[in-house]
Structure 1
Amino acid sequence: MTASATFAADAAFLLTEQHRDPVAGQGRVPERLPVAGEIAVLPHASEFFAEAVLAGGGAIGELSSATRGLVWLSEQRAEELTEILQAHPGIGWVQLPWAGVDGFAAVLARYADGSGPLFTSAKGAYSEPVAEHAVALAHAVLREFAPKARVAQWAPVRTGLSLYGRHVVIVGAGGIATEIIRLLQPYRVRITVVRRTASPMPGADRTVTTDSLHEVLPSAEVLILAAAATDETRALIGAAELALLAPTTALVNIARGALIDQDAVAEALREKRLLGAGLDVTTPEPLPAEHALWSQPRCLITSHSADTPEMTAPLLARRITENVRAFLGDSRFVGIVDPAAGY
């Protein structure tokens, strides 16, 4: 979930331990194991990520009939990935660069029947920086940073809301949601998680299924979207859902722009039916300059920068190393993608 759809080809990143991957070491064995062999790093050369492959014991080679594994670093060139997989059916494992894989939807759809390679993503790896950004946006909206920063004069009245003790509704139950819950603990908030199943979420006060979303929205004081972008979650928050929110609710989206009806959000902000919106993601990206959201003083848009290449590159490198070890014999892959489900 980065601003760029392609990782830089050179090793311009500092491999630090600033962030950890919360799901590292929690891999699982897929139903069908890929055959180990040479690994190609495409669609461009990258010494940085090649070193990550070597750190896992992998052998790097040019794309050929001997290629069995593929580290793919570009979302913009997803169509090219499809062509490569069709031309090289011996490739049994593909590592994708992002946590969200909706940019590869067309590629995954070809293998929804379980055929083709094992796909893994960076799912969970970027949880810390993205969750940090989500909480920062929640603070910013509640404290009214956006409208205050846009007015070139001293505010006549002190305004703003505190995060302490609020009811936070989080849509999604993946690694990012888990980390958001952890970061919110000092604020003594009440947390409701909305997910596909009602299985309890550690740290949450309540867990409900998606069909109960309308039930929990009226009491939400902060609504954070952290779910995968799928056909089921498209426009999950639209005019009907926004109408259920209190006018003092803060909306935060660090998932994908497709989860919300942006025109409906702009209208809710214009009519003051929403305290504010903190959006790191939009549809499309970049959001056109003429879009109504840019003109809403209570909308803070951070241009898909919840995680930067400097933050994600070391995390992706460690994910690559771990999955290369799985590919070569450990068999416990992290971030396995279900092509049928799309995430």
Structure 2
Amino acid sequence: MADNLVAIEPRSFPEYERAVERGGAKLSPMGSEVRGLIWTDYSSPSALGEMIDANPQLEWVQLPFAGVDAFSEQLDKSVLFTSAKGAYREPVAEHALMLALALGRKIPIRVKASSWGKREAFSIYDSKVLLIGAGGISEELIKLLAPFRAEVTVVRNNPELEFSGAKITAGLDQLDSLIPWADIVIVTCALTEKTRGLINYQRLSLFKPTAYLVNVARGPIVLSDDLLRALDEGLLAGAGLDVSDPEPLPDGHAFFGRDDLILTPHTADTKEIVTRLFAIRIEQNVRAFLGNGSWVGRVSPSLGY
């Protein structure tokens, strides 16, 4: 069996093929001698499971996105999984900051205005920002927020591990006590059974009425109906969402057209943005697969990310 054969399925792209070759492996169609697999389709987790079952010689699978919730049923298979977690951190953090800035400056209102209107705005300078999640996106956000002198608290699963750049590192069990403190709450965490529905009506009722919510993680972390109710009741000043539940949202959904909500169609990391970044991750992990480097974005099946 050849030791350096890697397949790209179900669709191959020239950028990814070149990344495999730069990493030192040989590109091959899926076959009995292929030990490494680059999976490029997020929408077909069952097809990946079938391919793994049909190829017991596989040792490593590279998944295409940072979140691996769609592949939860495959993660117990006896292969090493790596994801793209951290690979798209810069553009997603940039998008989160954009949403926060646009909300504070009332852009949803101003882009539709036909008159001079009310003079109102919120500045993130010297603001209090709560980041839910301690991955690469939060790391980048702390860098981006530094010039604004924002005071940042990070909530993570393992609060004993201090998060660099955060004034406070706290556990999920402290979330309810921290939400009332924050001017901006930004969700960056992985979708797991623990975080599904994490931002519900009860927690939204803890927001300051002047505070904003931003979600660039996964839609089901924020309960859509609860968010609509909270916005209607004025429990928070607004929300910026790059993800939703369901996704995509149907035409005419109540999220559209609101003055207190910005909705972008999962464009924090578009194909044009991620292709180059995913190619870098492929090259890194091909090198690790061949014993010439360290794994990046290794998935923990028990944690679900």
With the length of structure 1 as denominator, give the TM-score of the two structures.
Answer: 0.86
Contact 1:36 1:69 in 2 (8 A): no
Given candidates 185, 189, 192, the residue that maps to 2:150 is 189
Distance in 2, matches of 1:332 and 1:36, equals 17
Answering whether residue 137 of structure 2 is matched by residue 176 of structure 1, we say yes
Contact 2:15 2:276 in 1 (8 A): no
Contact 2:12 2:40 in 1 (8 A): no
Equivalent residue letter for 2:33: A
Equivalent residue letter for 2:122: L
Contact 1:167 1:191 in 2 (8 A): yes
Given candidates 198, 205, 218, the residue that maps to 2:167 is 205
Given candidates 229, 232, 237, the residue that maps to 1:270 is 232
Residue in structure 1 matched with residue 29 of structure 2 by the alignment: 62
Q: Percent identity?
A: 43
**Residues paired across the two proteins, number:** 303
Answering whether residue 182 of structure 2 is matched by residue 220 of structure 1, we say yes
What is the CA deviation profile of residues 113-135 of structure 1, one whole-angstrom value per residue up to 9, with x for unaligned ones? Answer: xxx11100111011000000001
Given candidates 272, 279, 290, the residue that maps to 2:241 is 279
Equivalent residue letter for 1:154: W
**Secondary structure of 2:30's aligned partner:** coil
Equivalent residue letter for 2:245: T
**Shift in Å at residue 209 of structure 1?**
0.3
Distance in 1, matches of 2:194 and 2:12, equals 36
Contact 1:36 1:327 in 2 (8 A): no
Given candidates 117, 126, 142, the residue that maps to 1:165 is 126
Contact 1:221 1:249 in 2 (8 A): yes
Equivalent residue letter for 1:158: R
Distance in 2, matches of 1:106 and 1:288, equals 27
Contact 2:92 2:269 in 1 (8 A): yes
Residue in structure 1 matched with residue 210 of structure 2 by the alignment: 248
Residue in structure 1 matched with residue 73 of structure 2 by the alignment: 106
Distance in 1, matches of 2:34 and 2:270, equals 30
Answering whether residue 64 of structure 2 is matched by residue 94 of structure 1, we say no
What is the alpha-carbon root mean square deviation over aligned residues?
A: 1.2
**Shift in Å at residue 238 of structure 1?**
0.5
Distance in 1, matches of 2:235 and 2:61, equals 45
Distance in 2, matches of 1:306 and 1:153, equals 31
Given candidates 250, 255, 273, the residue that maps to 1:293 is 255
**Shift in Å at residue 295 of structure 1?**
4.3
**Secondary structure of 2:35's aligned partner:** strand
Distance in 1, matches of 2:205 and 2:222, equals 13
Given candidates 197, 211, 221, the residue that maps to 1:235 is 197
Contact 1:233 1:259 in 2 (8 A): yes
**Secondary structure of 1:307's aligned partner:** coil
Residue in structure 1 matched with residue 296 of structure 2 by the alignment: 334
Distance in 1, matches of 2:207 and 2:12, equals 48
**Secondary structure of 1:223's aligned partner:** strand
Residue in structure 2 matched with residue 128 of structure 1 by the alignment: 90
Q: Which moved more, 1:246-255 or 1:302-311?
A: 302-311
Q: Gapped runs of 5+ residues in structure 2?
A: none
Distance in 2, matches of 1:71 and 1:36, equals 15
Distance in 2, matches of 1:75 and 1:63, equals 18
Equivalent residue letter for 1:197: N
Distance in 1, matches of 2:185 and 2:112, equals 24
**Secondary structure of 2:110's aligned partner:** helix
Distance in 2, matches of 1:225 and 1:175, equals 12
Runs of 4+ with >4 A deviation: none
Distance in 2, matches of 1:243 and 1:59, equals 55
**Shift in Å at residue 331 of structure 1?**
4.8
**Shift in Å at residue 267 of structure 1?**
1.1
Equivalent residue letter for 2:264: T
Q: Which moved more, 1:172-181 or 1:37-46?
A: 37-46
Q: Which moved more, 1:287-296 or 1:322-331?
A: 287-296
What is the CA deviation profile of residues 130-164 of structure 1, one whole-angstrom value per residue up to 9, with x for unaligned ones? Answer: 00000110101111111222233221x21111110
**Secondary structure of 2:81's aligned partner:** strand
**Shift in Å at residue 269 of structure 1?**
1.2
What is the CA deviation profile of residues 242-279 of structure 1, one whole-angstrom value per residue up to 9, with x for unaligned ones? Answer: 11111100110000011111111111111222111000
Answering whether residue 116 of structure 2 is matched by residue 154 of structure 1, we say yes
**Secondary structure of 1:132's aligned partner:** helix
**Shift in Å at residue 311 of structure 1?**
1.5
Q: Which structure has more RCO (C-alpha within 8 Å, separation ≥ 6)?
A: 1
Distance in 1, matches of 2:7 and 2:207, equals 49
With the length of structure 2 as denominator, give the TM-score of the two structures.
Answer: 0.96
Distance in 1, matches of 2:114 and 2:3, equals 61
